[in-house]
Amino acid sequence: MAEIILEGVTKRFPDGSLAVKEVDLDIADGEFVILVGPSGCGKSTTLNMIAGLEDITEGTLRIGDQVVNQLAPKERDVAMVFQSYALYPHMSVRENMGFPLRLAKVDKATINSKVEEAARILDLTEHLDRKPANLSGGQRQRVAMGRAIVRDPKVFLMDEPLSNLDAKLRVQMRTQISRLQRRLGTTTVYVTHDQTEAMTLGDRVVVMRQGLVQQIGTPAQLYDLPRNLFVAGFIGSPAMNFVNATLEGAVLHSPLGDLPLEDRTRQSLERQNAPRDVIVGLRPEAFEDAALSTERGRSGPVFTATVDVLESLGSDVYVYFTAEGGSVTTAELEELAADSGMRDTGSEVQQIVARLDAATRAREG
């Protein structure tokens, strides 16, 4: 079993800065967990403490059934993949991948068969005799993965392994890593600042900010039930919109119009003793072209907005706009009515419908 358990794990650097504050985290055997958050939030420091590259100031770290606080990195049976790949330029792919096994004094025949097996999984067989300089970025990245795989470690730790790749390759590699992790079933902790990567890769995602864990959950839990405004605004692309509103019975009075509450939501707010003044979070997909909405017999408050930018992605259209008296800035519309006139970026006034049933509620946490 290679579960990873952090209890009250804290990191204070010698200069006094508190980088990670009392993190509690239970990672199950075989789980793929992502640490995500803005730059400087403490995700790499947390990963480095698990790897043994940084001391733990306070708290307990367990890997499997062993407390590893005092163990050196090589005694923890973890393999790390870095953003820089850290390949040796003078070694071939085969030698790079086999290096950790050579260090561990594994015999040549075993090294060869393990390297060849990893190369097959990673589609690197035909490149085994090349040097890193003669490989593409994606291939180098796979060699770095291969070097981690051959050791068959208890745990994989990955620190932004895709950030040196272009956008398209990143998406491809994301799928590969996800498949590979499922196939090997190795407990994996993966650091990224990219929320899309976090949401698509992880069984669970840990959102961090200023050294503190903000929320731990499945991608769906973070998206649908963010615990505070930070998580609500951080998860989702384009980001959630926030508007101030006043709660009165079953209605939220907002600058966009009156948003009726479902019974379930109203009851939940009552249970929480929600204050009268609240912040409502509306995902971009909670908006709809007003003309189409009417055509389809759907209702919701209609408001006018000045379109700042239109981005057409083929299947969806992102509309960045300023609502009358409101701070809403993005809508993701499935389609536009033929006569909506909203075809060009400009400053035309357009009608958009907001619908709370598709929205997520956020409260200050």
Residue closer to ligand ATP (CB basis): 42 or 300: 42
Interaction with ligand ATP in 45-74: which residues (CB under 6 A)?
Answer: 45
Residue closer to ligand ATP (CB basis): 13 or 88: 13
Give yes or no for residue 114 binding ligand ATP (CB under 6 A).
no
Q: What six digits make up the tokens of 171?
A: 């998406």
Say how far apart CA 45 and CA 158 lie, in whole Å: 12
Residue closer to ligand ATP (CB basis): 191 or 317: 191
Tell me how far, at minimum, the Cβ of 96 lies from ligand ATP, in Å. 25
Tell me how far, at minimum, the Cβ of 360 lies from ligand ATP, in Å. 25
Tell me how far, at minimum, the Cβ of 38 lies from ligand ATP, in Å. 7
Residue closer to ligand ATP (CB basis): 191 or 323: 191
Interaction with ligand ATP in 191-210: which residues (CB under 6 A)?
Answer: 193
* Residue given tokens 């409101």 in the structure block: 326
Tell me how far, at minimum, the Cβ of 188 lies from ligand ATP, in Å. 17
Give yes or no for residue 13 binding ligand ATP (CB under 6 A).
yes
Tell me how far, at minimum, the Cβ of 53 lies from ligand ATP, in Å. 11
CA 140 to each of CA 89, 144, 155, 319: distance values in angstroms, whole numbers, following the listed order: 11, 6, 21, 38
Tell me how far, at minimum, the Cβ of 171 lies from ligand ATP, in Å. 20
Neighbouring CB atoms inside 10 A of 76's CB total 20
Residues 6+ apart with CB under 8 A from 45: 11, 19, 20, 54
> Strand 302-312's sheet: what is its strand order?
287-289, 349-354, 302-312, 317-323, 330-333
Residues 6+ apart with CB under 8 A from 15: none
Residue closer to ligand ATP (CB basis): 41 or 261: 41
Residue closer to ligand ATP (CB basis): 39 or 347: 39
Give yes or no for residue 272 binding ligand ATP (CB under 6 A).
no
**Hey, CA dihedral for 222, 48, 58, 33, is it positive or negative?**
positive
**Listed ranges 13-21, 68-76, 127-135, 267-275: which one lies at the site for ligand ATP (CB under 6 A):** 13-21
| Cis amide linkage into residue 260, ω under 30° from 0 | no
Give yes or no for residue 19 binding ligand ATP (CB under 6 A).
yes
Q: What six digits make up the tokens of 275?
A: 């204050």
Residue closer to ligand ATP (CB basis): 53 or 337: 53
Q: If we measure between CA atoms, which residue out of 36, 32, 43, 29 comes closest to residue 222?
A: 36
* Residue given tokens 């072209």 in the structure block: 289
Interaction with ligand ATP in 31-50: which residues (CB under 6 A)?
Answer: 37, 39-45
Q: Which residues bind ligand ATP (CB under 6 A)?
A: 13, 15, 17, 19, 37, 39-45, 193
